Chains A and B, each alone.
Chain A
Amino acid sequence: MTDVRDIDGGPRVSVVLLAEEPDASTAAALRSALGQSYRNLEVLVAGAGAHELARHAGGGDPPVRPMPGEGSRAAAVDRAARAAAGQYVAYLDGRSAWHRGHVRTLVDALEASYDCEAAYSDVYRTLYRPTAGGGREVLGKVVHCRRDFDRFFLLHRDYIPLPSLLHRRGVLDRTGPLAEGTGRRLAWDLCRRLACFTDLLHVPAVTAETYVPDHDADPGDGLDGEAIRRVLAAEPPRPWPKLPALSVLLAPEGDGDELGTRAERLCRRLRVPCRLYLAAPRADAVGAAGRLVPVSVRPSWPWDARIDKAVRACDGDCVAILPPRGRTTAAQLTAAYHALLYHALPDEAVLPAPPRRGAWGVVVRRRQLLRARNAWPALPIRRALEADGLRMRLPRAEELPFAFDRALAAARAQEAEGNFRQAAQRYDALAREHGHDALLAEAAARSLFREGRCDDRALERCRRVNADRPTVAALLLEARLLKRNQRTEDALRLLACAKQLLDWQPERDRPSC
């Protein structure tokens, strides 16, 4: 058995470095791993360039092991992570580098946490222009991530970059292999899987950088259809202790020729992990694909009987029954699922939309649905649920998911319309309600700066951000405020700090601002 604790008592950390090409960028990423202040590491170099890169690593402290092999990015990362001897696993690739304290920061956070098996930090998204010699001319560093963990948000948005992530090795035994063909959405696939088993601890400190060339049209959270489809289609093995699984049941009246299309559309748009059960006479013709599961029923069967068969076929903890006709949007379904998980009382089910004539749908706990059907088999499903004492209601406004994001979008819209003072008030109110202090203090300061007559309040917020965790944007903003108030020397000092951060190479010690 490998001893995974070092002489200081720190657990061993396995660093998976994806080296698709053994180029200068990947070598720099490796240097940032080897230069960590945390020393109980092993580096596993995965991908086509593994041998060459590992050969150049030399030394042996920390040890660098090549993990070559056939297959995709996902397969290479998966293979290396599962071969890890460490108690924790962290990731790097040729488009990223760590600051010297990255691993220590995340290990300390996880060691101090009782229930989280994964953690992530903030990263700089460093936009650069490639130079002739293979170097990078830095154009800007914008803090990416900077957001506390929100499971539903993570299911909808790829917001945790791979280099910012560290997790316990053991959790991989439950998450299953990564999906193929996810390209640069690999991190999203991994994080979605992790989120089914654990909360992810957000460490609000910038500890890494990801590099984005200026000609790259996709800044990282844009949409790239096929990779996203594959991420959404994948799910880890069940059961999931942190996310009751959802089964969505669709049963058309009649043959339901159009249902395949309707199901596909829903599959594309629904971002919570789920399986869609298509109960129709010709469902087999649509076939099982991705998360679509066909359920054969007879043409003569009424809608309730079709749903009953789908309920028996499905294995979700929660069941969403869609109405036989009409449109239920992915957003309505997500809202009802969210309300059921986090807000509904034990005797409540949630309607995705107001019932219309003959078109009724519901999101309900499966065990309650089964109990009602067993107790009242002769009644239609809706009546059976009511007879069993279940109350059905629409989600309330305060139960909708993404409350923070909706409020933030509203504040940003106000800012975009030039209502700077109101926008700043909203940012402040959001910070009081939701946290995210650095993000919102900086946004409020920016709004107040643009308002032009509240420099004192803007300065106070900037100082709060920069005193704790200075960023290039916040330093620049504070400097502009000072300059506008004729405090040129103070502005100069902050601008010099911002310049240092921009020029800073991650493998060196962080400049002291």
Chain B
Amino acid sequence: MTAVSIGCRDLVVSTGDRVLLDVASLEVSAGTTLAVLGPNGAGKSTLLRALAHLGGMSRTGDVLLDGQPATASQLRAASAAVFQRPVLQRASALDNAAAGLRLRGTARREARRRARPWLRALGVGHLADQPARTLSGGEAQRVAIARALAVEPRVLLLDEPFTGLDATSRADLIADLRTVLHRLGAAVLLVTHDREEARALADRTALLVAGRLRQVGGTAHVLDAPADADCASLLGYTTRLAPDLTGCGELLVARPERCQLLDPAASLPPNTIAVGGTVRRTVPLGGTTRVDVDTAAEPVAVLTTAEVTALPGQAVRVAVDLEHVRRIPAAVLSSSGAPPSRNAAADPMD
């Protein structure tokens, strides 16, 4: 089996006159995992389905296998996909895991023989003879993943496969999948809205907002250095300190959990930036408390584990250690619609 990379060039997907997706270029090398992170409706699933030539969408541009434009049948032969909901057949777990091979023309006995180890690798080997309909959501998704892996695809497409699982099964499955993906050596595209999934599984991460790639690079770098305001909120840097408030020429963003509330009279710790405002409301979230503070610009949110004594209407300061502040240059401040350039911002690690 030869390793294959998957990618696309000038891929545009539209319905009617609305452009759902416009990706100038993207590549996932063999043996690596790319996470495509984006909010709901960003076009993540559209990208995945377009790469697999699935769905009756109007599409222009090329999907590339090893840099060469690929036909639908080449893509079908090379790839397998797992969707958010495990769509299983009315059959045993083993027959479901073997279904991908059966659909590709492998004889039943051989397909079952090859599928069994993948069920075991995903921790559901003991359920092989169970009817698929009796499986729990997590077990069914494990079977669906085993089914995709059993065909030993050179390209594996994962469309939010952990959504709908409870926290424990999700964490277990991510750990198991990480081990398995390592062994498979395929080019893996993981579509998700959860940055922790990207952190756990992906070598590289791409941020997709409103159908366009805004940022592509090493996962650790991308998750830590948002290129624009949309990327910042996607990555959890949702507390925005506008230039008017801070006197900097740039938008400063921070994670709400990195912000703290200070009394206006208290002295500012070193290497800290602070803005003044009044408390609008405090919302206890069990363990943490969210405090919304009205400022001269937009409201900012603080998430704190400390006891909050400030009452609504009271003057406070919101302070952040400079280490936890990210700067969004004024040139890319345009926060909605198209980014200034069609090409995604690339980081030095690329």
Partners in one complex: no
